[in-house]
A and B are shown apart, each in its own frame.
Chain A
Amino acid sequence: MKRVAKATSRFLRRFWHGVREWCGDAAYESYLRSKGTQQGLCRPLTPAEFYVEQLNRRYSRPNRCC
C-alpha cells in the first residue's frame, strides 16, 4: 500500500512538473539551469526580461499550425 502511495505521489509530482514545463511556467528555471547561463558568459536576464525576450523569439517563426 505504501509503495503504491509513493509511486502515485511520484507520478503526480512528475506530471505536475511536466505540465509546468509544457505550458512555459518553468521556462525561466530552465534558462537559469542551462549550460549557457551556468557558464556565466553574460549577466542572466531577470524573470521579466526573460519572459519578453523568449516571447519575441518564439513568435517570430512558425509556431502554430493549421
Chain B
Amino acid sequence: MKRVFTIVAWIVVALLGAGALGAIAVHRGEPLNAIWFVVAAVCCYSVAFRFYSAFVAAKVLALDDTRATPAERHDDGRDFVPTNKWVLFGHHFAAIAGPGPLVGPTLAAQFGYLPGTLWLIAGAALGGCVQDFVILFFSIRRDGKSLGQMAREEVSERGGFIAQLAVLAIMVILLAVIALVVVNALKSSPWATFTLAMTIPIALLLGVYLRFVRPGRVLEASVMGVALLLFAVVAGQWVAESPSWAHVFTLSGLALTAAIIIYGFSASALPVWLLLAPRDYLSAFIKAGAVFSLAAGILVVRPHVLMPSLTRFVDGTGPVFAGKIFPFCFITIACGAVSGFHSLISSGTTPKMILRESQARFIGYGAMLLESFVGVMAMVAACAMPPGVYFAINSPPAIVGATPEVAASTITGWGFPLQAQTMADTSRAVGEQTLWNRSGGAPSLAVGMAQIFSSTIGGDRLLSIWYHFAIMFEALFILTVLDAGTRVGRFMIQELGGRVWKPFGRRGWMPGILISSAIIVGMWGYFLYQGVIDPLGGINSLWPLFGIGNQLLAAVALVLATTILLKMGRLRWIWVTLLPMIALVTVTMTASYEKIFDANPRLGFLAGANALVAQVTAGKIPAERIVETQRLIFNLRLDAAVTAVLACMVLVLVFEALFQWYSILGRRREAVLHESPYVATRWAESFSGTVHGDD
C-alpha cells in the first residue's frame, strides 16, 4: 500500500513539474506568475534527485558504504574531519555558490525567460549536478586528491599539467570579470561605495578580535560583523545625502579599478586571518540570509514575470552581449547549470570531510540543484521588472545612445516601452544618481531583489535600503571570491615559479609572496582595466570569455570522469558523463570559434579589431583618441589569443583522453585505476558525525 502511495505521489510530482514547465513554455500574452517557475524547478529537481541521481549512485558509480572514507581513515581534525552530512552540505553549498548563478541568468534574460530557465533546470539535472557528484566520488576514492592530480594519474602527466594551467588561466578571467561586475555596480554610487568600503575596516576589526581576543569564536564575531554591516548600509544613505561625503565616495570606473586592484593585492599578501578570512565569514552569513530571503520573498510576493518568453534578441543582436541563443545562452548562464569551478571544490575540501560514500549523492548532486534554484530565482528577479528598465540598465551607451531620451527611444523601438522619466523615477526610488548603462547584471538584479523585498517588508519607503542591501550582498561575496581566488592564484604562480627557481616556491618567503601577488593581480587587473575602458561596457567581451573558460573547465572534469568510468569497466553507463562532455565541448568550441572569427565586429574579437583598424586607416578616429583606439585593438586581439589558447588546451586534453580510451578499448593498454586501497569502515551504520553536544 505504501509503495502504491509512493508511486502515485511521484507521478503527481512529475506531472506537476511537466505541467508547470509546459505553462512556462507555451504561455503568451498576459504576464506569467513567478510561482510557475518555482513549481517547475522544485518538481523537476525532486524527480531528478530521486531517480536520476539514485541511478547514477547505484548503477554507474556503485557507491559502497562499507568502505571507509578519507575522513575516517585520516581523521586529523584539520583537513580530514568527519562531518555531519547536513553541515557538510552547508559547507559545500557555501563554497560552490558564487556570483555566477546570480549574474549569468540576469544577463541571459535578454533572450527572454524561457531559454535560460530551461537550461538552468535541464543543464543542472543532467550536466552540472552529475559533474559535481562524480568528481566528488572519484576524489573520495583517491584520498581527496585534486582535479589536477587525478587528471595527471588517470589521463596523463601532460593532461594534469594542462588542467593546472587551464585552472590558472580561467581563474584570471574569472577574477577580472567579477571585479568588473563590482566596478559597474559601484560606479557613481556613493551609497554603495561607502557601504562596501566599510566592509574592510569591519573585517579588520573582526580579524583582530578572532586572532587575539577570542580565537576562533566565529559565530559571535560574525553576529557583531553582520550588525555593523547592516548599520553601514543604513549609514550609506547619510553619506549619499551629504554633498561633501558623497563627493569623496563618488568614484569613476578607473578609480574603482585601482581601488579593487590594491585591495586584491593586499588581501593576497596580508596574513589570511587579518582581512580575507573575516570577510569570508561575513559573506557566508549575508549570502545565506539573502538567498533564503529572496526565495521566501518570491513565494510571498509571487511577482509577475514581465519579460516575454523569447525576445527578438535570440537572433544575436542583443544589447547586453552579442551572440545567438546557441551557444551564448549556455555560455552566459554558466555556473547556474554547469560550473567547471565546482570540480575544484568537489576535489578539494568536501571529499576529506564526508562520512560515507552514499552521502556524495546528497552533497554533490543536491548542492548543485540548490545552486541551480538560486539561478532560477535570479532569472525571476530580473524578468519581474519591466523589460524596458532591464535593457536600460544593462545596455551600454554605444548601443542605446548617450542621452536618456535617445536611449529610451531606442529601447521603445525594440518593442519594450520606456520613458526617460521612468528611469529617473526608478533611480530616485533606489537612491542612485542614475541607473542608465549599469551593465554587469548586479544593478538590475539588485533592482529586482529590492522590488521583491520591499513588497514584503517596508514598501516603497525601504526600496532604497533594500537596493543597497542587495548591492552590498552581491559586491561582498564577489570580493570574497576575488580575494580568495587571488590568494589561490598566488600559490599556483609560486608553485609554477618554484619549478624554475626553488626559493620562489616557498610559501612563506616574503619577496616570493609580493612578486607572485603582483603577477596574479597584474594579470586579472589588466583584463579588468580593459573591460572598464571598453566602449561596449566590457561585459560584452569578458563575460563570454569567462563563460567559455568555465565551461571548458567543466569539459576537462567530464573528460576525466569519462576516462575513470571507462577504466572502471562501466562502458555501458559511460553516456552519463560522455553526453554532457560532448555537449559542453560542442558549445564551448562553437562559442570560441564565433568569439574569435565571427565577421560581426560586436561578436568576433578579430573582426572588432579589424573594424577599428579600418576606422583608424580611414582617418575616422580623432587624433586625441588614436592611442585609446590602438589599445582597444590590442585588447581585442589579446582576447582572441586567450580564447584560442584556452580552447587549444582543452582540445589537447580531449585528444589525450581519446587516445587513452582507444588504447583501453582496443586492449593495447591495461586500465589501471589509482584508487586508494579498500579499508572497511568501523563506524556503526547509525553514526552521523560528531555534532558537538549531541553525542
Interface residues of A (CB under 8 A from B): 13-14, 17-37, 46-48, 50-66
15 contacts between A and B (CB under 8 A): A21-B691, A24-B281, A27-B218, A33-B690, A37-B76, A47-B215, A47-B216, A48-B216, A50-B215, A60-B487, A63-B348, A63-B349, A63-B484, A65-B339, A65-B342
Cα(A25)–Cα(B81), bound, Å = 14
Are A33 and B77 in contact (CB-based, < 8 A)?
Answer: yes
Whether B335 sits at the interface, judged by CB under 8 Å, is yes
Closest A residue, CB atoms, query B507: A60
Residues of B within 8 A of A35 (CB): 75-77
Whether B96 sits at the interface, judged by CB under 8 Å, is yes
Residues of A within 8 A of B474 (CB): none
Residues of B within 8 A of A46 (CB): 215
Whether B162 sits at the interface, judged by CB under 8 Å, is no
Are A66 and B341 in contact (CB-based, < 8 A)?
Answer: yes
Are B694 and A14 in contact (CB-based, < 8 A)?
Answer: yes
Whether B475 sits at the interface, judged by CB under 8 Å, is no
Residues of A within 8 A of B622 (CB): none
Shortest distance in angstroms between B274's beta carbon and chain A's nearest beta carbon?
10
Are B98 and A65 in contact (CB-based, < 8 A)?
Answer: yes
Instruction: Bits for B476-493, please: 1 = Cβ < 8 Å to A, else 0.
Output: 000011001101100100
Whether B222 sits at the interface, judged by CB under 8 Å, is yes
Whether B360 sits at the interface, judged by CB under 8 Å, is no
Cα(A62)–Cα(B35), bound, Å = 36
Are A66 and B481 in contact (CB-based, < 8 A)?
Answer: yes
5 interchain residue pairs of minimum CB distance: A34-B77, A31-B77, A36-B76, A35-B75, A62-B344
Would you list which residues of chain B between 344 and 382 have a CB under 8 Å from chain A?
344-345, 348-349
Are B335 and A66 in contact (CB-based, < 8 A)?
Answer: yes
Residues of A within 8 A of B222 (CB): 23
Cα(A2)–Cα(B692), bound, Å = 24
Whether B211 sits at the interface, judged by CB under 8 Å, is yes
Cα(A25)–Cα(B507), bound, Å = 27
Closest B residue, CB atoms, query A28: B216
Known: A51-B216, A59-B487, A60-B507. 7 other contacts (CB 8 A): A35-B77, A48-B212, A50-B216, A55-B277, A56-B272, A59-B488, A64-B484
Known contacts: A17-B693, A22-B87, A55-B273. The answer to whether A66 contacts B81 by CB under 8 A is no
Shortest distance in angstroms between A46's beta carbon and chain B's nearest beta carbon?
8
**B residues contacting the other copy or chain, number (CB 8 A):** 66
Cα(A53)–Cα(B211), bound, Å = 11
Are B77 and A30 in contact (CB-based, < 8 A)?
Answer: yes
Shortest distance in angstroms between A58's beta carbon and chain B's nearest beta carbon?
7
Residues of B within 8 A of A56 (CB): 272
Are A17 and B694 in contact (CB-based, < 8 A)?
Answer: yes
Cα(A31)–Cα(B79), bound, Å = 10
Cβ 8 A contact of A59, one of B96, B218, B277, B691: B277
Whether B182 sits at the interface, judged by CB under 8 Å, is no
Known contacts: A18-B87, A24-B216, A27-B216. The answer to whether A66 contacts B694 by CB under 8 A is no
Whether B154 sits at the interface, judged by CB under 8 Å, is no
Interface residues of B (CB under 8 A from A): 74-79, 81, 83-84, 86-87, 90-91, 94-100, 146, 167, 174, 178, 210-212, 215-219, 222, 271-273, 276-277, 280-281, 284-285, 334-335, 339, 341-342, 344-345, 348-349, 480-481, 484-485, 487-488, 491, 507, 546, 550, 690-694
Are A64 and B75 in contact (CB-based, < 8 A)?
Answer: no
Residues of B within 8 A of A55 (CB): 272-273, 277
Known contacts: A47-B216, A62-B488. The answer to whether A37 contacts B77 by CB under 8 A is yes
Cα(A55)–Cα(B481), bound, Å = 15
Closest B residue, CB atoms, query A52: B273
Closest A residue, CB atoms, query B83: A21
Cβ 8 A contact of B210, one of A30, A34, A37, A51: A51
Are B99 and A66 in contact (CB-based, < 8 A)?
Answer: yes
Are B215 and A29 in contact (CB-based, < 8 A)?
Answer: no
Residues of B within 8 A of A63 (CB): 95, 345, 348-349, 484, 488
Cβ 8 A contact of B692, one of A21, A48, A50, A62: A21
Residues of A within 8 A of B84 (CB): 18, 21
Are A59 and B272 in contact (CB-based, < 8 A)?
Answer: yes
Closest A residue, CB atoms, query B79: A57
Shortest distance in angstroms between A56's beta carbon and chain B's nearest beta carbon?
6
Are B77 and A48 in contact (CB-based, < 8 A)?
Answer: no
Cβ 8 A contact of A17, one of B81, B212, B341, B692: B692
Known contacts: A59-B272, A60-B507. The answer to whether A65 contacts B335 by CB under 8 A is yes
Residues of B within 8 A of A18 (CB): 84, 86-87, 90, 691
Cα(A47)–Cα(B284), bound, Å = 22
Known contacts: A17-B691, A17-B692, A30-B77. The answer to whether A65 contacts B341 by CB under 8 A is yes
Residues of A within 8 A of B216 (CB): 24-25, 27-28, 47-48, 50-51
Are A25 and B217 in contact (CB-based, < 8 A)?
Answer: yes
Shortest distance in angstroms between A28's beta carbon and chain B's nearest beta carbon?
5
Residues of A within 8 A of B98 (CB): 64-66
Known contacts: A58-B349, A62-B344, A64-B481. The answer to whether A51 contacts B694 by CB under 8 A is no
